[in-house]
Structure 1
Amino acid sequence: MITVLQPGTQLLIEDLGRPGCAAVGLSPSGALDTRALRLANRLVGNDPGAAGLELLLGGAELEFDAEALLAVTGACGPLSLAAAGLPPAEAAAGRPVRVPAGARLRIGPARAGLRYYVAVAGGIEAEPLMGSRSTDVLSGLGPAPLRAGDVLAVGSPAGHPDTGWLPTPVPPQGRIVVRVQPGPRLDWFARGTWQRLTGRDWTVSPDSNRVGVRLLGRPLERTAADELPSEGLITGAVQVPASGLPTVFLSDHPVTGGYPVPAVVVPADLPLLAQARPGQPVRFLAPPPDPTS
């Protein structure tokens, strides 16, 4: 069992989500930085989709009532273990860490990136919904955000931890570059919008969350004045509301929306946006020209 002593800014149970449920009104949800969660699970011998913890910004403290094997990935910041009767000792990120019974894991403020991921051998147990243990903050479905005093059950370890050296991605601290493809409603915008979208930096807004990354900059101009009927959305859709400022939808996005989508972020680059901090510049990278066209 794991007791949450301090939950930090936001501490959630997340796995790889529940894709394919849009028809019943459920977003995919799941870890925003799937790359970090997969790595943490691999380090402790879990299946890639085992449930772990997603921590926003840091500031959490967890107590383990029995010996455990854990790994922390994603954001970069100070980690320490305090065993009974011993002073706190630094813990390594991106590596399997053996935790003695009664020890406390402290996760400090993130210095780079935004979200930590904690995997424990055996995975975090929670009641599944549509095959996933993920928290969906938009709908309120799945496990509730964790609070001080909550106790988490851990499953039985079934795999072998990866004790070899694995490269650990470091969240970029400067400009974040993500690839985009044209979206279905690019023709609703003024001529040259694609060049304006991809030819300059945007800035991550403090209003960003698990639903989407809001971007600040020079607004994009719409030419179509029609009302757009609500249509399906996918993770990575770049939706532009009346303000002209884009929002990149993340895992907890609504399944439909009524604003045009001029672009879609390549799925492999979404983990970069999951770690984007307010004020950080973002550049959309257009695909190279098709030499056959």
Structure 2
Amino acid sequence: MNSTEISEPGLRVERVGPLATIQDLGRPGWFDSGVGTAGAADRASLRLANRLVGNPEGAAGIEVLLGGLELLARRHVTVAVTGASAPVTVDDRPMGPASVLEMEEGQRLRMGYAATGLRTYVAVRGGIEVAPVLGSRSRDTLSGIGPEPLRSGDLLPVGKPPRSWPIVDVAPVPVLGNDLLTVRAVPGPRADWFADAAALFAGEWSVSSDTDRIGARLDRRSGPDLRRSVKGELPTEGMALGSVQVPPSGQPVVFLADHPITGGYPVIAVVVDADVDTVAQARPGQPLRFRRIE
């Protein structure tokens, strides 16, 4: 991100942990050009953060993987932090989760590492106004479209504050845990490619270490293996957000925000839209089970 192209930056990035990217609610409408939607992996948390600071729900914020972010205010800004419960301080004063924070010029927001959950979201009143690409400010990690991941020294422009104003100091939100997750899914278009598609819904899975914004790969924790009954290759077909694709290894992959728009492995099920955010917050090793719905 080139600071010479930024006018009136409101925040300076002092430190970044494993990964921090700019995300909004994505860039729909470009599938015919080979471009996916991308956007926040946990859309509900970004929407909440934006509502807390009075922004439209789709305003761009910062998605932080695990934690480790430090921001310096270059002028007065209003921010909110939601999602994974990483500890947050402003000038070393602890702040509660999902609370509205007023920062004056020179103050520092420091984020520790989340004990539960995977992604934390920072919204600033007015939104992060980096240059949009194809109508969105989201970083797509699969295609490389959108603003580069944040680095120390980046200056972040903040937009004009909206007319609406936050009406709460803190939002009551459930604390993300490491307990068994139950994820609802409907049978997929290629469920008949498996000897027993119901095996997906039997027993438990766990999130593998091979998980990112593209998808979460699952390991079998208990229950029967997934076995294909149809041999041969599947012609490439479209892939939706939440598709549960099964490669030859038998380890299903739940597609997340930066998923490819086409694929050649059978889709055994599709996670309901409301539960995709839940999968996006699941940490490696966390147990998960699927519940079938029609």
Q: Tell me the TM-score normalized by structure 1.
A: 0.93
Counterpart residue number, 2:102: 98
Q: Structure 2 residue aligned with 1:216, among 205, 219, 223? A: 219
Q: Report the equivalent of 1:230.
A: 236
Matches within 5 A, 1:147-226: 147-158=151-162, 159-163=164-168, 166-190=171-195, 192-194=196-198, 196-217=199-220, 219-226=225-232
Percentage identity across aligned positions? 51
Count of aligned positions: 281
Following superposition of structure 1 onto structure 2, how do residues 207-286 of structure 1 map, counting pairs within 5 Å? 207-217=210-220, 219-286=225-292
Q: Secondary structure at the residue paired with 1:206? A: strand
Partner Cα separation in structure 2 for residue 32 and residue 136 of structure 1: 11
The question of whether the paired residues in 2 share the 8 Å contact of 1:237 and 1:265 is answered with yes
**In structure 2, how many angstroms separate the alpha carbons of the residues matched to 1:4 and 1:35?**
24
Are residues 1:70 and 2:79 paired? yes
Give 1:129 deviation, angstroms: 1.6
User: Could you tell me which residue of structure 2 aligns to residue 85 of structure 1?
Assistant: none
Q: Deviations over 1:90-120 (max 9, x none)?
A: 1122111111111000000101111000000
Give unpaired runs (5+ residues) of structure 2: 1-9
CA distance in 1, matches of 2:130, 2:231: 47
Amino acid at match of 2:77: A
TM-score, length-scaled by structure 2: 0.93
Following TM superposition, where does structure 1 have runs of at least 4 consecutive aligned residues deviating by more than 2 angstroms? Answer: 164-167
Match of 2:27 in 1: 18
Q: CA RMSD in A?
A: 1.2
SS of 1:18's partner is coil
* SS of equivalent to 2:211: coil
Contact 2:236–2:263, Cα closer than 8 Å, also in 1:
yes
Query: What's the secondary structure of 2:209's corresponding residue?
Result: coil
2:138 aligned residue:
134
**SS of aligned partner of 1:166:** coil
Q: Equivalences for 1:50-129 in 2 at 5 Å?
A: 50-82=59-91, 88-129=92-133
1:14-42 Cα shifts (integer Å, max 9, x gaps): 00001232111111100011110000000
Q: What is the CA-CA distance between 1:77 and the residue it aligns to? A: 2.2
**Aligned counterpart, 1:144:** 148
Describe the SS at the equivalent of 1:197.
helix
Deviation at 1:165, TM superposition (A): 5.6
Give, in angstroms, the shift of residue 226 of structure 1: 2.2
